[in-house]
Amino acid sequence: MFSKSKYLLLLFPILAFLGFQLLDKKPPASAEWPEITQTAKPWTRWWWMGNAVDEKNLSKLLETYNEAGLGGVEIAPIYGAKGYEDRYLEFLSEEWLSMLDLTVNKAQSLGMGVDMTQGTGWPYGGPQVSVENAATRMVIQDYEKADGQAFSTPIKFQKRRENQYDAKLIAVMAYDKDLNAKDITSSVTADGQLDWNEAGSWQIKAIFLDKTGQMVKRAAPGGVGFTLDHFSKSAVDSYNSYFEKAFAGKDYGIRSFYNDSFEVYGADFTASFFEEFEKQRGYDLKEFLPFLESEEKTEKVRRVKSDYRETINDLLLTNFTKNWTSWAHSQSKLTKNQAHGSPGNLLDLYAAVDIPECETFGSSYFPIPGLRRDSADIRNVDPDPIMLKFASSAAHLTGKNLVSSETFTWLGEHFKSSFSQMKPEVEQAFLAGVNHIFYHGVTYSPEDIPYPGWLFYASLNLTQQNSLWPHFKGFNEYIARSQAILQAGKADNELLVYWPVYDVWAEPKGKMEMITVHAVDEWLHPTEFYKQSKSLMEAGYSLDFISDDMIGKSSVKDELIHTSPTNSAKVLLIPETEFMPIETLRDILKLAVDGAKVIFQSKPKSIPGYHSDQESRQAEFDALWASLVFQGGKVNMGKGQVILNQDSRNALEDLGIYREKLVDSGLDFIRRKVADGTYYFLVNHSANTISQTISLNTKAGTVMAMDPLTGKTGEIPTSSASEGTSVSIYLKSGESIFLKTFDEKVQLNIPAWPDYSKAFYTTVISKNWELTFTQGQPKVPASQKMETVKPWTDNNSPEADDFSGQASYTSEFDIKKTEGKQYLMTIDKVYESAKIWINGEYAGNIWSIPYQLDITEELQNGKNTIKIEVANLMANSIRYLDRNGIEWRNYHEINFVNIDYKPFDASNWKTMPSGLGGKIEIAEF
C-alpha cells in the first residue's frame, strides 16, 4: 500500500540532498526571482467547525483560497456552530473521509497542498483513547507514622471528584528523619491497611498512578475523548494504529500530520516511569520523592529534579516524537510539530520531526512611526525572536529546509488587525529563520452563512467574508516572494551557541518544567545563554543553537563544524553554564582536536543529576577540564583551539570571525547561501530612515536589489571593502529589501536600482476627489465628494462609520513627466489597504508603512486619472451588529471570546478610521 507515495517519500531526502549539492554547481547568473513554489506561498490552518463540510463549499473555498495566493491548508476539525448540527460529520467516518479525499484531490488540481492535525481540537486524543492510554499523573499522598503507634489510616486514593476513576497504587514508601527510604508496598493489604510497625517516626508516601482526566480541547464531533499519554509507547502506537485502520490502506495524499504545542496539563507520569527512570538514571526515584516534591534550593533537590525532567524528556522524545515520525513515514507522510510547551529539550524535539514549527503569539513592539498598537489588544508576552530560533536552529543543524510558524495568533483583538501590523511581525519571524508561514487562520464558512460567517475564537479571521479579503493577494505575494528566497540554498550562520538545558532542568521550583512561550521570563530571559545570544545577534553575528546530542553527532572538516551534510559553522560557543554532562565535554574537546574552534565563557561548574558516585564523576569532569592548559586564555588541541574568554565578541574577533557591521545602521538581517552568491534580507524596523553606505561581509562582484512588495529588481553600485562589499542603502522605517550578492561580476541586463533618497520636486494631488462605495456590510453608503481627501469615517455619515468593505477614491491630476526619471506616489495614511489604478492601468497595492508605490510606468505626461480602491477593517461593521443586537456568534464550547478570553462585545468600540488620510504626493527622482 501507498507504493507511489512511499517512493516519493524515499526520494524526497535524495532530492533534498541533490538540491544542496547543486550549491557547488554555479548556474548562469539570473535576475529572476526564485520559483514561487507551493511551499513558498503562505499556508493556513483551516478550521472545520463541526466538520460541517460539503463538496460544493469545499471546492469553492479552495478555489477562493488559491486565487488569493495561498499555497496550502492544514485541516483542523473543531467544535461547531449551533443550529447546524444536521450538517455535522463524525471525525474519520466514511462521510468525513470522503470529504478529506475530495479536499486533497481538489487542492492538488489547484497546485495546493494539504496537511491535517492527527485528531480534532488539541492536544492529541479522542474516543479511541482508553483510560489506560490516557494522560497520566503521579499523585503522592502523605501520611505520618508516630514512633510506637500503629498506623491505622487506610491507604486509599482520595478522589478530587465523584466521577473520577480509581487511581492505581504503585508503591508505598517510608522515610525516616534523615530521609532514608524503605519500600513498604508489600505491607499494604488489599483493603489498604498498612501492616507495618517499625520503630521510629516515619513519613509515609503512597504513590498512585492517576489519570489527569483532561479531555481534548475544542473537540469536533467524533473527536471527544481523553487526551493521550504521550510518554507511553504502547499508548502512542495504539493511537497511530487507530488512524492507520481508519485510512484502511488508502493514501489520501496529505503532505504531513501536524501536532500542536504541548498542552497536556498535569501529565507528569506514565505506568513504566519508575522502571525507565532507574534504567536511564541508575537509581530508584521512589527513594528520593521528598527531594522531588521539595522546592528548596539545595543541590540534591536540583539534581533529583533534573534527572526526573531528563527522563520525562527521553520518554517524550522516544515514545512520542520519534515514534510518531517513524510511523508517519511508514504511511508516506511527513510530520510537522510544535515542540514548545513540552517538558523537554526543545532542540532535540524539534529536530526529531520533518518540519519544526514555532509560533508567534501576541504582538511585538516596533518603533515604526504610524504603526498602530492598541495597548488594550496586547497579550502578556511579546513574541521573542530567540524563542523562534529553537525551531529554525533544529532545522538548520539537521539539514531540514522548511521551518514553519503558526503566525499571528492573537496578534490583536478580533477584526482590528491590518496587513501593516502583520508585516513587521512576519519579518521578525523571517529574521529568526522561519520560511514556511501558516496563518492562524481561516475558518471554513459555507456560502449560505450570513455575514460575518463562521469564525474561530482565537484567530486572525482571514476568511473570505473579511473586508480585507479582496486585497489579501497582495500580502500573500509579499510572503511568497520572500519565502521563495528564504527557502533557497541553505542558512548561512557562522556560530553555534550551546543551549544548557540541564540548567533549566535544575530549577528547584515545581515538578514538571514546561518550556513554554508564555514563561520565557522564567526559563529563558534570565540566562546567560539568552543574554549572550541576544547580544551577539544585535552585534551582527548569525547563529544557531545546538544541543548536547547535536554536538555529539557533529564532525569537523576543513576547520568547519558540520552538524549535517548540508550545514556547517565556524565556531562553537559555550555560554556560562552550570551543568554539563561529561560526555558533552568530551564531545566538545574531540571537535577541537579534529580542528574546531571552541569558545568557553567560563568553566562549566558541574555534571548534572544525582549519582551515587558523584564525587568520582565530578573529579573525572574536573580532571578533563584541567587537562586544558590555557596560556593567554587559549589552548591548541590537535588541529583546533579552545578559548576561555568571558568576552565572546573579543574572542571571535581574535579568531577572525567578523560581525556584519550593517546592524550599526539600525538594520536587521538574515543570510542564505546559494550556488552563485548570498541573499541578504535587510529590514528597517527602527524609527528612522536609513540612508547610508553599509558594508556586507560577502565579497561580491555584482549586487542586485529585490523588492518583495512589488517583485521589482535593480542593480546596485558596489565598491570593495576590506572585509567584503560596500553598497548604499536607502530604506524608510518599515521597509525591507533583499540583496543578492553574486560571487563574481555578472551581466544582469536589468535597470539600475532607483535612488529615492532625494526628490527633485513633489506634486500634491489631494484635492477634488469622489468616493464611491462598492461592496461591504452592513449596507453600501451613498457616494461622497471631497475637496480634500480624507477618511470616509470623517464625513459625519453614520452609514459610512458602520461600513466595512471596499470603496474607491477617484480624481484627476496634471503632472509634467520627464523621461528617465522615477515617480513615487506616497499616501500619508491608508486605512488599511489600497489598490491603485493610474490611467486605467493597475499600478499595485499599498498596504504597509511607508504607504508608497512607484508609478513611473503607468504615469503619463499631462492629464492623468487615478482610482484608489481602499479596503478597511471588519471592526466597524461588527460593532454595528453588536450595537443593534444582531446575533452572529453562537457556537458550542467556548463560543466566541475577546483577547482576554472574556465574552466578546464590540458595541462600545470607537469608530476605526477607514479610507485615506493626509496628503497624496507624487515625487520625481
- Interstrand relation of 334-337 and 256-259 (parallel, antiparallel or unpaired): parallel
Q: What SS3 state is found at 684?
A: coil
What is the spatial distance between Cα 910 and Cα 720, in angstroms, rounded to a whole number? 55
Q: What is the CA radius of gyration of the chain?
A: 30
Res. 215: pLDDT tops 70: yes
State the DSSP string of 574-630: E-S-SB--HHHHHHHHHHHHTT-EEEESS---B--S--TTHHHHHHHHHHHHHT---
pLDDT digits (tens, 9 = 90+) for 240-249: 999 999 999 8
For the four alpha carbons of 195, 201, 206 and 212, in that order, the dihedral sign comes to positive
Contacts of 473 (CB under 8 A, 6+ apart): 67, 68, 69, 845
DSSP label at residue 631? B
Q: How far is CA 194 from the centre of its chain?
A: 52
Res. 137: pLDDT tops 90: yes
With bands split at pLDDT 50, 70 and 90, how would you rate the model's confidence at 4?
Answer: very low
Place of cell 588541529: 639
What is the spatial distance between Cα 865 and Cα 841, in angstroms, rounded to a whole number? 10
Name the burial class of residue 670, with classes exposed (0-12), middle (13-18) and buried (19+) by CB atoms within 10 angstroms of its CB.
Answer: buried
Q: How far is CA 104 from the centre of its chain?
A: 25
Set of cell numbers at residue 620: 573525572
557 C-beta neighbours (distance < 10 Å), count? 10
Considering the chain, what is the average pLDDT of its residues? 95
pLDDT digits (tens, 9 = 90+) for 857-889: 999 999 999 999 999 999 999 999 999 999 999
Place of cell 587559549: 634
Place of cell 443550529: 83
Q: What length is written for the chain?
A: 925
pLDDT digits (tens, 9 = 90+) for 674-706: 999 999 999 999 999 999 999 999 999 999 999
Contacts of 328 (CB under 8 A, 6+ apart): 256, 257, 334, 335
pLDDT digits (tens, 9 = 90+) for 462-498: 999 999 999 999 999 999 999 999 999 999 999 999 9
Angle between helices 419-431 and 385-397 (to 10 degrees): 50
What is the layout of strands, in order, in the sheet containing 571-574?
543-546, 495-498, 571-574, 597-600, 640-644, 634-637
With bands split at pLDDT 50, 70 and 90, how would you rate the model's confidence at 374?
Answer: confident
Interior/surface letters 566-598, b for 16+ CB within 10 angstroms, e for the rest:
bbbbbbbbbbbbbbbbbebbebbbbbbebbbbb
For residues 111-120, average pLDDT: 98
Q: What SS3 state is found at 219?
A: coil
pLDDT at 30: 82
With bands split at pLDDT 50, 70 and 90, how would you rate the model's confidence at 161?
Answer: confident
**Please, which residues bridge with residue 674 across strands?**
677
CB of 121 closer than 8 Å to CB of 227: no
DSSP label at residue 317? I
Res. 380: pLDDT tops 80: no
Res. 22: pLDDT tops 50: no
Set of cell numbers at residue 862: 499631462
Whole-model pTM?
0.95
Place of cell 483532561: 214
pLDDT at 21: 41
Res. 499: pLDDT tops 70: yes
What is the spatial distance between Cα 173 and Cα 291, in angstroms, rounded to a whole number? 13
Place of cell 508608497: 852
What is the spatial distance between Cα 133 and Cα 151, in angstroms, rounded to a whole number? 34
pLDDT digits (tens, 9 = 90+) for 26-46: 666 788 999 999 999 999 999
pLDDT at 378: 75
Res. 15: pLDDT tops 70: no
What is the spatial distance between Cα 592 and Cα 639, in angstroms, rounded to a whole number? 7
For the four alpha carbons of 721, 723, 726 and 732, in that order, the dihedral sign comes to negative
For residues 157-174, average pLDDT: 92
CB of 91 closer than 8 Å to CB of 222: yes
Smallest CA-to-CA distance from 755 within 717, 782, 723, 790 is with 717
- CA distance readout (Å), 358 to 102, 341, 527, 784: 29, 10, 21, 46
pLDDT digits (tens, 9 = 90+) for 423-468: 999 999 999 999 999 999 999 999 999 999 999 998 889 999 999 9
For residues 205-210, average pLDDT: 98
What is the spatial distance between Cα 624 and Cα 871, in angstroms, rounded to a whole number? 66
State the DSSP string of 742-760: ESS------PBPP--SS-S
Set of cell numbers at residue 876: 466597524
- Three-class DSSP labels, 24-62: HCCCCCCCCCCCCCCCCCCEEEEEEECCCCCHHHHHHHH
Peptide bond into 751 cis (omega under 30): no
CB of 890 closer than 8 Å to CB of 727: no
What is the spatial distance between Cα 304 and Cα 281, in angstroms, rounded to a whole number? 10
Set of cell numbers at residue 916: 485615506
pLDDT at 723: 82
What is the spatial distance between Cα 53 and Cα 446, in angstroms, rounded to a whole number? 8
End-to-end Cα, the chain, rounded Å: 63
Angle between helices 472-486 and 419-431 (to 10 degrees): 10
- CA neighbours within 13 Å on the CB side: how many for 908? 2
Set of cell numbers at residue 90: 463524525
CB of 585 closer than 8 Å to CB of 572: no
pLDDT at 14: 36
pLDDT at 27: 62
What is the spatial distance between Cα 625 and Cα 589, in angstroms, rounded to a whole number? 9
9 C-beta neighbours (distance < 10 Å), count? 18
Helices (H), 358-404: 385-397
What is the spatial distance between Cα 225 and Cα 220, in angstroms, rounded to a whole number? 10
Q: How far is CA 173 from the centre of its chain?
A: 44
Set of cell numbers at residue 417: 488587525
With bands split at pLDDT 50, 70 and 90, how would you rate the model's confidence at 721?
Answer: confident
- Phi and psi, residue 657, nearest 5°: -100, 110
With bands split at pLDDT 50, 70 and 90, how would you rate the model's confidence at 2?
Answer: very low
pLDDT digits (tens, 9 = 90+) for 272-308: 999 999 999 999 999 999 999 999 999 999 999 999 9
Res. 78: pLDDT tops 70: yes
Res. 522: pLDDT tops 90: yes
For residues 734-749, average pLDDT: 96
Which helix H or strand E contains 875, and what residues bound it? helix 875-883
State the DSSP string of 267-279: --B-TTHHHHHHH
pLDDT digits (tens, 9 = 90+) for 797-855: 999 999 999 999 999 999 999 999 999 999 999 999 999 999 999 999 999 999 999 99
- CA distance readout (Å), 584 to 499, 629, 805: 12, 19, 59
Contacts of 3 (CB under 8 A, 6+ apart): none
